[in-house]
Amino acid sequence: MWETLSKSGTASHREVRRAQVLLMAAEGLASEWIARVVGVSPATVRSWRARFAGSRPSG
């Protein structure tokens, strides 16, 4: 799902950026680096990471 959304031409820009952030975070990249590459603040990256981690099913 995240891979498709990160390349979408019809999703909102925010949704595409969020998907890109989450995919990079899943690869273990640093929040500061992700923020620079995607064009958001490091605080935004940390917020999206925390929100995603809190909503994932366990296991």
Q: Give residue 44's pLDDT.
A: 95
Name the DSSP class of 39. Answer: T
Q: Does residue 8 or residue 30 have the better pLDDT?
A: 30
Nearest alpha carbon to residue 22 among 56, 54, 52, 59: 52
Q: So what's the pLDDT on residue 24?
A: 94
Q: Mention every residue, 6+ apart, whose C-beta is less than 8 A from residue 31.
A: 25, 42, 45, 46, 49
pLDDT tens across 26-49, in order? 999 999 999 999 999 999 999 999
- Structural domain spans, the chain: 2-55
CA nearest to 46, candidates 30, 33, 31: 31
* pLDDT band with cut points at 50, 70 and 90 for residue 2: low
7: tokens are: 């390349």
Mean pLDDT, range 5-19, rounded to an integer: 78
Residue 10, pLDDT > 80, answer: no
